[in-house]
Structure 1
Amino acid sequence: MAQVIRTPLAEQAADLLLDRIRAGEWPLGSKLPGENTLGPQLGVGRSTVREAIRRLAGQGVLSTRQGAGVFVAALDIVEDWSAVLRKVDIDSVIEARIAIEVEAVALAAERWTAAELRAIRHAAATRDAQRTDIEAHVDADIAFHRAVVVASHNPILVDLFDSFTPRSRRAMIDLLRLRGEFGSDADQQAHLRILDAIADRDGRTASALAREHLLTLTTG
């Protein structure tokens, strides 16, 4: 039987228990042996076993039932629910952005004025310059997309975009923090390709590029 050989002992004990659960030693819903049995198997004391069980219970793998014992609740670590909920919200935001922006991009390609095209180009340049701070980058990104929506000449789409912006901003910041990176050259080039299609008054291509870009943001 594998023994705990490094500290922290509780973390090592939890890892060993998880390995045994993953290997199928205890099926889903089955009861674990008591602390007096697990302790010698793992080479640790009862208090360390209790801490290891608490760790795995906090990760959704084990469930402690008062007076009954400890049971296998999952066969692997359950993802942090706060992260799950953030991802659900991000994906919902992206779906809404697709509904608003893909159509707005197509209309902008048909309807832009010279002043509006200059505004979109300026927003793209500002976005390119904001690659070091997440919040500043997201604000510059929103400004770019808003300039496109304004060029659609559809006030309802503009109102929808503006009313949606606070939630969209929070979701995009969460997304970039979850990813751990932002402001790549590829991402900026994707926006420039959308801009070029708008400038060429190619609504079909602009719309397709906008949809493709937004779909790359999903967390699934």
Structure 2
Amino acid sequence: MARKSLVGLVADELLDRIVAGEFPPGTVVPGELELSAKHEVSRMTVREAMKTLEAQRILSVERGRGTFVNPLSRWESLEAVLRAASEGKNDGAVAVQLIELRRMLETGACELAASRVSPEDIEQLRAQVSAMQDAYDSNDVTAFVKADLAFHDVILHASGNVFVAVLFEPLHRVLETRRTQTSQIPDIQKHAIAHHRNILEALEARDTRRARLAMDAHMQQTLDDLRSYVLDA
């Protein structure tokens, strides 16, 4: 067990270096001898750690050439992808793809929620929109992000589909980091408040089509704001 734990530690430390941009996609990672010296472990431990990352498609071995870092799109470890999304350097592409994922799942969740939302859910949603407005007025980004995330969490659970909330749980840390970055911009906060109000009104009306369209419009505005205020800035 101790050896396996050590292998995992070395694999994590190498992944940290990849995520930090020390070894961008397409570059060769150091050889076993260099890594064993750096981490003060045996070459066998390094070899097993490399095999772990290779199994997750983070690394690929080309005989006679070395071990290369794969593009993020080829990685097959959700945990590794989430680490890259929250800590990595490839912010633009990852941020866009995260919104695309949210758009696919949250529009459907909002449609379901419109037919299943409870009066208590509506009260919680209304309270979160009010909290977002208060946070905007007082320039409290932390409070704004907290209320924003809570609003969406209520909808995910109100959908009544047990898989939806479970699927989103691992994304929470990434979403919190991203929202904190983008919510520094007052115009993005204003747009978000307006769209959250539209979503709330659609859910209050129990209008499934309107709820889906309102959430889709919110996701589109989020993408437009990301491109206008962050990626093209």
Structure ID, larger Rg: 1
Q: Which residue of 2 aligns with 1:174?
A: 181
Which of these residues, 136, 144, 149, is aligned with residue 143 of structure 2?
136
Which of these residues, 110, 132, 139, is aligned with residue 105 of structure 1?
110
Distance 1:167 1:84, change over 3 A: closer
Secondary structure of the structure 2 residue equivalent to 1:213: helix
Q: Which residue of 1 aligns with 2:94?
A: 89
Q: Which residue of 2 aligns with 1:188?
A: 193
1:208 aligns with 2:198: no
User: What is the alpha-carbon distance in structure 2 between the residues aligned to residue 122 and residue 181 of structure 1?
Assistant: 21
Distance 1:87 1:133, change over 3 A: farther
Distance 1:173 1:89, change over 3 A: farther
Contact 2:182 2:188 in 1 (8 A): no
Q: Which residue of 2 aligns with 1:197?
A: 202
Using structure 2 for the length normalisation, give the TM-score: 0.54
1:118 aligns with 2:123: yes
Counterpart AA for 1:154 = N
Secondary structure of the structure 2 residue equivalent to 1:150: helix
Q: Kindly provide the CA deviation profile for residues 94-134 of structure 1, in whole angstroms up to 9, marking residues without a partner as x.
A: 11111221111001100011222212112221222111122
Ranges in structure 2 where 5+ consecutive residues have no aligned partner: 1-86, 228-233
Ranges in structure 1 where 5+ consecutive residues have no aligned partner: 1-81
User: What is the alpha-carbon distance in structure 2 between the residues aligned to residue 180 and residue 138 of structure 1?
Assistant: 12
Secondary structure of the structure 2 residue equivalent to 1:216: helix
Distance 1:119 1:192, change over 3 A: same
Tell me by how many angstroms 1:174 deviates. 2.5
User: What is the alpha-carbon distance in structure 2 between the residues aligned to residue 158 and residue 112 of structure 1?
Assistant: 15
User: What is the alpha-carbon distance in structure 1 between the residues aligned to residue 170 and residue 159 of structure 2?
Assistant: 17
Using structure 1 for the length normalisation, give the TM-score: 0.57
Tell me by how many angstroms 1:201 deviates. 0.8
Distance 1:84 1:119, change over 3 A: same
Tell me by how many angstroms 1:208 deviates. 0.8
User: What is the alpha-carbon distance in structure 1 between the residues aligned to residue 144 and residue 154 of structure 2?
Assistant: 15
Query: Which structure features the higher share of helix residues?
Result: 2
Identity of aligned residues (%): 23
User: What is the alpha-carbon distance in structure 2 between the residues aligned to residue 158 and residue 83 of structure 1?
Assistant: 25
